[in-house]
Amino acid sequence: MVSDIVLLKELPDAIKNSVTAYVGCVSGAMLKEDYLKAVKAAGFRKVKIIEETAFPIDFMANDPTALAIIKDAGLSLQKVREAADSVLSVKVSAIKI
């Protein structure tokens, strides 16, 4: 079982290129489909998502790392909402045979 951050769609370049976003494990996140393919390519079977949790806009507005990312990137509120909607925390179960 592993817990990780994945994306539903690509992030804006301002976030992808942000050191703060990288340190916060956001800019280095993979698209969810690609992440699951990589797990399977590594030899894991019976790969399934046990839980998905979206990051609500409140998280972005109150988390110091998220606030630093927003400030560094100079993002509009609309871009922040779009980014928040595309970031998920997933718990994945798989078996290595």
Task: Kindly report, residue by residue over 7-36, the tens digit of the pLDDT.
Answer: 999 887 877 777 776 666 777 889 999 999
Contact (CB, 8 A) for 36 and 73? no
CA 79 centroid distance within chain: 15
Domain annotation for the chain: domains and CATH numbers: 2-96 (3.40.50.150)
Residue 86 exposed, middle or buried by CB count within 10 Å (0-12, 13-18, 19+): buried
Among 91, 92, 88, 94, CA closest to 5: 88
Q: Which of 38-42, 56-60, 83-87 has the highest mean pLDDT?
A: 38-42
The Cα 92–Cα 36 span in angstroms is 9
Structure tokens at 40: 């399977």
